[in-house]
């Protein structure tokens, strides 16, 4: 598995985690009323689920696949923005 494929798997995992977090907050809101504790728990869960994002780096130069300059984008680069290495080829 290439680093790009692993990063894509992580991006899909995060999309599912986001859906679960939103559904969790909506269910708590529906049955128990508005709760900032449920919202905080969802945020902490998303941060914990996203901790692996920093491990998806270019094998040549070490640039993270999810960073575009100082911005974080939810989908990884196929080509390294720093050294031009094709990350989707094994």
CA dist 24 and 66 (Å) reads: 26
Question: Is residue 66 included in any domain, yes or no?
Answer: yes
> pLDDT digit string (tens) for 14-26?
999 999 999 999 9
Count of domains observed in the chain: 1
User: Is 78 within the bounds of a domain?
Assistant: no
CA-to-CA dists, residue 72 to 12, 24, 37, 39, angstroms:
15, 25, 26, 22
Bridge-based pairing state of the strands 71-72 and 67-68? antiparallel
Residue 19: give the domain boundaries: 3-72
Determine what percent of the chain is predicted with pLDDT higher than 70: 99
Identify whether 43 is part of a domain. Answer: yes
The answer to whether residue 55 is domain-embedded is yes
pLDDT-derived band at 8, boundaries 50, 70, 90 = very high
**Residue 51 included in any domain:** yes
The rounded distance, in Å, linking the Cα atoms of 27 and 38 is: 10
- Asked if residue 63 is part of any domain, the answer here is yes
């Amino acid at each position: 598995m290439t680093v790009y494929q692993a990063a894509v798997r992580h991006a899909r995992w995060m999309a599912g985690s986001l859906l679960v977090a939103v559904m969790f907050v909506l269910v708590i809101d529906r049955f128990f009323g508005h709760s900032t504790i449920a919202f905080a728990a969802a945020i902490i869960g998303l941060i914990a689920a996203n901790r692996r994002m920093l491990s998806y780096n270019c094998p040549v130069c070490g640039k993270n696949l999810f960073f575009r300059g100082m911005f974080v984008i939810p989908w990884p680069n196929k080509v390294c923005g720093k050294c031009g290495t094709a990350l989707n080829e094994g």
